[in-house]
Each structure stands twice: as C-alpha cells, then as structure tokens.
C-alpha cells in the first residue's frame, strides 16, 4: 500500500485480487488481467501440490520397505 499523508485511509493495491470483492467497477481488460493472474496462481499451486504428492509417495514407499 502506498502511504499518503493527506489521505484518511491507506490506499489499497488495486491490482491485488481479494476473494468475494465487488467486481462491478473493473473494466474488461482489468477482469482479463485478474483471470490471467489467478490462472497463473492456480498453475503454481497445482505444481507445488504435485511436488508434495511425489514427496509423500516417496516417503510412504521408503517407510513401507523398512517394515518388511
């Protein structure tokens, strides 16, 4: 957030998307930018999730082999 000593409230970063926020004042281009940003974030989350699943599967396989 930018600090404005003359503002009564701090100015929010408008490019940041907040779940459930009012979207009625956004232009089509702004909506498209937010969609693209959220799609990139979803892809990043899926990648991290896949990495964690691989790590968990490897750990599970390792500990199952140690029980025999």
The boundaries of the domain holding residue 49 are 27-68
Give the pLDDT of residue 31: 94
Give the pLDDT of residue 66: 60
Give the pLDDT of residue 8: 72
Give the pLDDT of residue 25: 94
Q: How many domains does the chain have?
A: 1
Q: H helices then E strands: how many in the chain?
A: 1, 0
The pair phi, psi for residue 7, each rounded to 5°, is -85, 145
In a domain, 67, yes or no: yes
Q: In angstroms, rounded to a whole number, what is the distance separating the alpha carbons of residues 60 and 22? A: 44
In a domain, 4, yes or no: no
pLDDT means per 10 residues in the chain (68 residues)? Answer: 66 71 94 95 97 91 72
In a domain, 17, yes or no: no
Q: In angstroms, rounded to a whole number, what is the distance separating the alpha carbons of residues 13 and 10? A: 10
In a domain, 52, yes or no: yes
In a domain, 8, yes or no: no
In a domain, 51, yes or no: yes
């Amino acid at each position: 957030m930018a600090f404005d000593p003359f503002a009564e409230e701090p100015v929010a970063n408008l490019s940041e998307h907040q779940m459930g926020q009012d979207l009625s004042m956004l232009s089509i281009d702004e909506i498209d930018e937010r969609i693209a940003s959220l799609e990139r974030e979803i892809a990043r989350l899926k990648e991290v999730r896949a990495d964690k699943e691989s790590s968990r599967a490897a750990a599970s396989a390792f500990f199952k082999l140690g029980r025999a």
